[in-house]
Each structure stands twice: as C-alpha cells, then as structure tokens.
Structure 1
Amino acid sequence: MKHLSENDGSVAVLNETPRPKIGFVSLGCPKNLVDSEVMMGLLDRAGAEITTKPEAADILVVNTCSFIDTAKQESVDTILEMAQHKTSGSARRLIVAGCLVERYRDEIRRNIPEVDAVVGTGELEQILAAAGLEAPKPQTILANASPFHILSAEGGAARAASTAAQATAARPEGDLREQQGRFARDTWDGATAQLPQYLYDHTTPRLLATKKASAYIKIAEGCDHPCSFCVIPNLRGKFRSRRFESVVAEAEALVAQGVREITLIGQDTTCYGEDLDLKDGLALLLDRLAQIEGLVWLRFLYAYPNRITGKLLETIAKHDNICKYLDVPLQHASPAVLKTMKRGAGAEIFLKTIAKVRAAVPGIALRTSFIVGFPGETEEDFETLCDFVKEAKFDWLGVFGYSDEEGSRAFELGEKVPARTIERRKRALMKLQQGISKKGKAAQVGRAVNVLIEGESEETPLLWEGRTQFHAPEIDGTVYINDFGPYESLTPGAFYRCEITESHDYDVVARVIEEAGPAAAEVSR
C-alpha cells in the first residue's frame, strides 16, 4: 500500500530561509503510515513544507516495508524510482526510513549510492538531522493553520519523562522471549544491536495523510509473540504500550479537529496495557474513548485469538460507536501447522471462539488472514483449512503465500512447499472465500446501513464510494453509491443512511436515503 502524503496547512516560523519541500512516500501497513505522519509532523514543525509532487521536492523520503518478499521488492523499486528525481527533478537528497532500513541498513548504503541518509523504525526523531533541519524551540512556532496538525502541547522535559517511564515497562512474556533469543539481530546486515524503543505520544506533532474524517492512533509498538514465520519483533522490538492518558488526549484532539472515525492499531492491540499492569486494558481504553463526544466510529486492529476476553466483547457490544468489527489473523486452522508456527490452537478451538464472539456481539463482521504453503503444510492440512473456512463463513478474508524470511525461525525449517503449490492453494482458498462472500453480500440487499462517504470513485465519476462500520479503511470491500436520493451532491467525510440495492462478490451498491447523524441507529446485519 503506497501513500504519497500531503497536508494543506502550514506553520509560520521565525526564519527567512526558504522552506525546503519534502515529499513522502509511505509503504506498507497503517502502523508504518503513522510513523510517516510523525516524521512529517516533526519536519513541518521544523519549517519544512510537505508536497505530493516528487518532481518538485527538494528532499524525498521513502518509508519502507519489509514484511514479505513482495513488500521488500516494492520498497526497493520505489527507492530507485524516487532516486531518479535527483537527476530529472529538483531533489537534492533522498532519505530511506522504516523496516527495510532496520534490516538492510548497510546493504542499502552499499548498493544504492543515491540514498543520502537512513532512518530506522526506532529513530523517527532523527528524520530532522537526515533532512538537515534542526528542531525548533517552542517559541518559534507562531501559528497553526492546519486542521489536521497536532502541535506539541508539552515541553521537552515532559516528553523525556514520558519516554523514560515507558522504557521501564515490560511484559514477562517479552522478557522471556528475549532470553530465548526472539529479538536477536546478529544475523542481519547492518541492523543496530539495540532494539527500537521509540514510541510517539500525544505531544508529538503529526500531519495526517488519511482522509479528513478518519485517522489512526498507534496505541502500542513491537511484539512479543513467538510466531515462527514473522520477523516483526526483530524489526520493531519488544511490545510496549502507550500511556492510557496519552492515547485519550490524542483521540480528543483528533475529534476536536474534525476526525469522526478512529482506528486503534498495534501489532497486537489485545495486549494493550499488560506492560502497564492494566487488566483488560484494551477494553478499558475502548470504553473511555467511546465516551468522546463527536466520535462516530471507533475500531481496533488486530486481535490475537486467545486474548479476546469476555470484557472486550462486552465493551464492543455496549457502545453504539464501537464498530461491530473484529480482525483476528488466525494464520491457519490445522493444529499441526499452527504448532510449527508457534501459534497453537486449531479449527475446533477457533470455531468455539467465533461462536462466542457472534453470540456476544450479534451482527459483528469478522475478518481474518491465513498463510498457505507454510513449511511442512500437507494437502491434508490445507483441506483442514478449507473446511474451517467453509464452516466459519468470514465476512472478509485475506490469504498470503508463505514467504521464506531470513531471520525467522521458519527460515530454518525443512520441507519447504514448492512455489507452484503455494500459488495453487492460495487461488483455491480465495476462490472458496469468493463464493462465501458473494452469498453474504447478496443477503444484504434491501438493508439500510450508515455509510461514511469517502468521495468520487477512481473508476468512474458516475459512482461515489463509501464504507460501513463493517469495512475497515483500505482493506475491505467498497460501498458504491449510484443514487444520491434527495441530494444533488454528497459531502466527503459525512455519514448517510443508505439502502443496499445490488451486490457483487466483495462490494455492494447503494442509494442514499437521508443524511445520518452521529446517533442514527444501525440495523442488525
């Protein structure tokens, strides 16, 4: 996923030097996007101007992803594409940030000489030095014209105290995994020995790159789980939660600036607060945030299956503005494969969990993702997964072919599944889900739902696009609007009551009935 970021506001500074124009390309997940927004906020506060036009930028920044092979290739291709602007455009500096740097710092420097500076996942504040800018003193900020810009509300001392306090927090599981070598980086080319520890807070400036009505809040960073296919703990460090009050303060500031949908993100949000001695921390946080006046939708990504507590489900059901939506990446359904993945459980346990979720929150939309072709996966294992998908009937489902990532425990496993077999299984599982989704979408025809209008469709000006509470931003299907009802035009970022009139495999078509206020009731799905 690629974002070329822009913000239409500006900050006046006491500096007659022309403001350097900086172009940002953000790749990968929403967590990476928040990192980009933080770096843009820091640069903006230091006097830079953010632009979406790479050919006009003085400095280009590529925030990279290296989760799987395809993501790494996209990152490298984008770096090389942006490097061309150093000869054909006005760019005089190219900075590479993010996960690819954390893994291949020296290799990037050695093989891509056009790169002038690198910034790792735990070094976001170093973006200023990389761009040749100095952090301004607080009194140099005169005005803030942007409705999407959160200025630092506290001084450096408060920020330093918060960071110091955070550094002392830890989960016993994380300490155990560290002792077991989970976070070892000695086999990586160029990664610094120290694990990332950075975690932004509500005093950190951000420039939002999302659409006006929606924003992400990263409530935690890192991961302590032992999943053998994943290198994210090595890239991002040990799990660490943001302070409860800091998250609330940021959410209140966003809503005050016009944001109506907030998505809480982290590698595993259901672990939130465990390192802060909070029991059911995510449920407590959701309960508090749901009380913010003006917040229409609140959701979170992602849930670890064995941490979906009764209290969490009770909280989701309790508040109308908490989206009835749960993303639980299960990864597989065969107990044998899950055991090798260091995940545990299996189809039978998962089905019980799904039943519990649906009973507690009627009408909830469930999303999951699976990995096919994991080392040692047999045809019988794959059939177990297919049978599970048929029975579970997920609303949304993503399938990844196994990517053999150096540095992961799975990389050392034998019995690698051939690439052709992986691709065949991936297509077969998606074909199966396509039929499930098509039937589910057809059942929605005639229902009325609240839709957040996002704007004119990129496919044709005859259609507009939107989402319901059952669609997470950018990853699920689309609601296409082909009838504005009583209105000549629609307002992007506004909510409308719509009737679903037509269905397709993953998307639906709807007509507008009326404008929906924040308190408009949803019908069950």
Structure 2
Amino acid sequence: MRKNTIDLVTLGCSKNLVDSEQLIRQLEKNGYSVTHDSESPEGEIAVINTCGFIGDAKEESINMILEFAQAKEEGRLKKLYVMGCLSERYLKELAVEIPAVDKFYGKFDWKNLLQDLGKVYDERIHIERSLTTPQHYAYLKISEGCDRKCSYCAIPIITGCHVSRTMEDILDEVRYLVGNGVKEFQVIAQELTYYGVDLYKKQMLPELIEKISDIPGVEWIRLHYAYPAHFPTDLFRVMRERDNVCKYMDIALQHISDNVLSMMKRHVTKAETYTLMEQFRKEVPGIHLRTTLMVGHPGETEADFEELKEFVKHVRFDRMGAFTYSEEEGTYSANNYEDSIPQEVKQQRLDELMEIQQGISAELSASKIGKCFKVIIDRKEGEYYIGRTEFDSPEVDPEVLILAGDEKLEIGDFYQVKINDADDFDLYAEVIK
C-alpha cells in the first residue's frame, strides 16, 4: 500500500474518461500520485468512476466496487470512493448495499471528493487535464446531459437536461491541450447537434467546429454522437471546406421502421432518415458514417426487423455497432411497454444484423487496397506500428497495421501510407517514402 497514491478506475464512456482526467489533474496538483486503470493497484486510496447506462455496464461497475471493497476489508486499502453515473442514479441504495465504500458521489459533485480528502478544488485549472490517452489525441466534451426523451434511455434520468459549455471555455481547453501536444480531438457529447441551444438560443455546432479548426496545431477533429432529428445542415459545409475536420460522423440512428421509431420516441421518420443519409453522402463526398442500432425494443415485429436489415444493406455504413434492448427502470419503455421479445430472439436478430454488417465492412475495407491515406501512429505493438486514418476513431474503429521495418516511425506523427491488404476489421499498409 503506497502512501499518497490513488488508484483511479474509469468504466463506461469517453465522457466519463474526461471527468477522470480532470480529477487526476486536481489530485496531482494537491500532491497525490495517481495511477489510472492499473492492473495491479497499490494505492492507499481507490476511486471508481462508474457507468450506469445498461445492464452489463452496471454489473461491471458493481463487480469492480465489490472487488475493491474486499481489498479494503482485507486491509489492502485504506479508503474507497465511488463516483459517476451508477453512483448518481443509485446513491442511497449503494450506500446501504456496500457499506465498505467510504463515500458515494454523483456524476457532478465529484469535486467534493477533494474536500473530503482535506484538499481544495482549484477552479483556476478547471480546463486542465492529465491525459490517460496517448498524448497526441484527446476527447473534448462540449456539453452534459440530454433533452431528448427516448423511450429506452436512462441517461437523461442520470445526467439531467442538456447543458452546453461556453464556446470560450471549450476553445481555451483546446488551446491548452494543443500546447501539451494534442493534435487530434474527438468532440463528444451525449447529443452533439443540440450544442448551444440553451446558451445561444440556436444550434451552434457548425460555428464551434469552425472555431476549433481555426486554432493552429489542430490537425484532426472528429465528431461523435449526433442525433438525426433537426440536424444542423451547415455542418456539411464545414466538413467539406475544412481539411482538419475529418469526414466522419458518428450518428446513433437506433432503428429505421416508423413503427419502432415512434415507440422509441425518436421524433424522426424512416423517410427523413434515408434523406439525411443521402445528404451526408452527397454534401460531404467520401464521408464515413458510423451508427448504432438497437434490436428487440418492445413492439419490434419481424417486419420491422426486416426493414432494419434492408436499411443496413442499402446505406452500407462504414462503421456500425448494435445492441439488444434491455429494460432500464424509470424509462418510458419500462413504465409503458412489456419487454415481451425473448432474449434468444433479440440475440438472434443482433447476430443476423452484425453478420450483414461484417460482410459490408469486409467489402469496404477491401476497396481501400491500393489506395493511399494519411495516418496517425498511435503505438507500436509487436512487429507492427498501429495507426488510424481520419475515418477511424480510437478504440472503436479499424486500425492500420504497418510492418516495422528499418525506418523508425514516431508515435503521434502523421505518415502517408499505401494499403496493401485488408481483413474484416483492419488494414495493412506500408509507408510511402
């Protein structure tokens, strides 16, 4: 047990990761040594930043808390603190169920943790973070919460209404991160397209992205988690005109059947969704689209699922994830629909959908053979350097593998490569001399 050392574990999404990075910076400013997601925690204090989105994530968070609670009971840990989404949602229940935890904090009151450690949160460095990612890229959170009330989603219950950060604050953070070597920004929010409505009374995402792209040193900007209804179409122009805005959009569509979209309370139709996909491809030539789809929502019929399969075949998403519906207490679905589709049917639909996508992904990857791309190098692994194109976001998308030869490649630098081979997931390339 190392004195003045804190082990911080982050579970869930990249939005949680940003919170952890801010906390690490504050802890280090107060004299602590902090490890992140260590495989062998040795600190006298542990902090777990939890996820509470769906059943599997909640289970993972609870198991992690119990693991550290046992370490505390065995005398291998002095203090255990829990924060984040699961803690926000089940604060009172968790405190009763797992008394070994010294204190539970919600998603937004983690600053009190410093106070309980006898330290002070320093507002002067609120935009500063100790990155847990490689130094050349960072996640940039532009808002919190969500005003959408999708039937299945517990996130508005956990995070509350949409709250945008001021543009000045975001741009200050970008300049700070660029000054610390960051070249690539994954712009994230629960709902990107709503950015600015609360502060500026209109959608301001296109203007914000333009301003970020004007900052010297910003090489790549990639956008995550857009919503299809009332999409700010001026963003097409920004993506088309700005070389450092990646031709990439992560837009969670969930379904295509009007029947299911209506039950999901998505406020968008099948026709509008198809039109938006066509607009993306027409207005931003070469764009790569990533989406997330759900199968097994209450009321989804075989006919609805067939529509979804046809949609995937027609649009040919460059990247696609999918998951089965799981009932979340407190949501509209849980209160108003019966979760009547058997789990084996949900899983069968998921497998079928992903099999279609796997074939599409393989074809799209193969079409890149012989073409040249700009890649950024993330790391070296075994005999390969691992990089990504502008169409690949860290952790979730395919990678570019470059055989390490005589030439040494620098982590975080850009190179022009030619694609020589491809499989279902990754590309193989050589550097163009």
Q: TM-score, normalised by structure 1?
A: 0.79
Cα distance change, pair 347–506 in 1 and its aligned pair in 2 (3 A) = farther
State whether residues 46 and 133 of structure 1, in contact with CA within 8 Å, keep that contact through their aligned partners in structure 2: no
Q: Which amino acid aligns with 2:421?
A: E
CA distance in 1, matches of 2:133, 2:112: 23
Q: 1: CA distance between counterparts of 2:431 and 2:153?
A: 43
Deviations 1:76-128, CA, capped at 9 Å, x for gaps: 11112223332557420111110111111122212222211111012021121
One-letter identity of the residue aligned with 2:90: Y
Where do residues 368-517 of structure 1 align in structure 2 (5 Å cutoff)? Answer: 368-412=291-335, 413-414=337-338, 416-457=340-381, 461-484=382-405, 487-514=406-433
Aligned match of 2:35: 51
Contact 2:128 2:173 in 1 (8 A): no
- Mean alpha-carbon deviation: is it higher for 108-117 or for 401-410? 108-117
8 Å CA contact retained: 1:42, 1:125: no
Q: Cα gap change, 1:46/1:19 in structure 2, threshold over 3 Å: closer, same or farther?
A: farther
1:272-311 to 2 correspondence within 5 Å? Answer: 272-277=195-200, 279-311=202-234
> Retained in 2: the 8 A contact 1:280–1:312?
no
After superposition, the C-alpha distances for 1:263-316 in whole angstroms (9 at most, x for unaligned) are 111101111111112534110011111011111101221111123222111011
CA distance in structure 1 between the partners assigned to 2:288 and 2:391 by the alignment: 6
Structure 1 residues 510-525: aligned runs within 5 Å: 510-514=429-433
SS in 2 for 1:127: helix
Residue 483 of structure 1: how far off its partner (Å): 4.9
Counterpart of 2:173 in structure 1 is 250
User: Whole-Å Cα distance in 2 between the matches of residues 107 and 273 of structure 1?
Assistant: 35
Once the 2 structures are TM-superposed, how far is the Cα of residue 488 of structure 1 from its aligned partner?
2.6
Note if contact 1:483-1:512 (Cα within 8 Å) is conserved in structure 2: no
Given that 2:229 and 2:267 are in contact with CA atoms closer than 8 Å, whether structure 1 keeps it comes out as no
Match of 1:34 in 2: 18
2:291 partner SS: strand
Deviation of residue 479 (structure 1)?
1.3
CA distance in 1, matches of 2:321, 2:50: 22
Inter-CA distance 429–21: structure 2 relative to 1 (3 Å threshold): same
> Which residue number in structure 1 is paired with residue 185 of structure 2?
262
Give the deviation of 1:377 after TM superposition. 0.6
Residue 346 of structure 1: CA displacement? 3.5
Pick from 220, 228, 234 the counterpart of residue 157 of structure 2.
234
Q: What's the offset of the Cα at 1:360?
A: 0.8
Q: Distance in 2 between matches of 1:488 and 1:284?
A: 41
Distance 1:229 1:436 in 2: 28
CA distance in 2, matches of 1:497, 1:91: 48
Aligned match of 1:85 in 71, 79, 82? 71
Deviations 1:184-210 (A, max 9, x none): xxxxxxxxxxxxxxxxxx734421111
The residue identity in structure 2 corresponding to 1:426 is L
Taking a change above 3 Å as real, the CA distance of residues 454 and 262 of structure 1, as seen in their structure-2 partners, is same
Structure 1 unaligned residues grouped into runs of 5+: 1-17, 139-151, 155-201, 515-525
**Is 1:108 the counterpart of 2:94 in the alignment?**
yes
CA distance in 2, matches of 1:403, 1:501: 41
- Asked whether the 8 Å contact 1:347–1:388 carries over to 2, the reply is no
Percent identity between the two aligned chains: 40
| Partner AA of 2:47 in structure 1 | V
Give the secondary structure class of the aligned counterpart of 2:6: strand
CA-CA distance at 1:368 after TM superposition: 0.3
**Could you tell me the TM-score, scaled by structure 2's length?**
0.95
Of residues 363-372 and 276-285 in structure 1, the stretch that sits farther from structure 2 once superposed is 276-285
Contact persistence 1:43–1:127 (CA under 8 A): no
Q: Deviations over 1:158-216 (max 9, x none)?
A: xxxxxxxxxxxxxxxxxxxxxxxxxxxxxxxxxxxxxxxxxxxx734421111110011
Deviation at 1:390, TM superposition (A): 0.4
Pick from 85, 101, 104 the counterpart of residue 99 of structure 1.
85
Question: Are the counterparts in 2 of residues 98 and 121 from structure 1 also a CA contact under 8 Å?
Answer: yes
8 Å CA contact retained: 2:128, 2:176? no
CA RMSD of aligned residues (A): 1.7
The structural deviation recorded for 1:439 is 0.5
Q: Deviations over 1:363-391 (max 9, x none)?
A: 00000001100001110000000001000
Show CA shifts across 1:199-254 (max 9, x none): xxx73442111111001111100000010100101101110100111111110111
Instruction: Report SS of the residue matched to 2:397.
Output: coil
Deviation per residue, 1:441-464 (Å, 9 max, x gap):
00000111111111123xxx1222
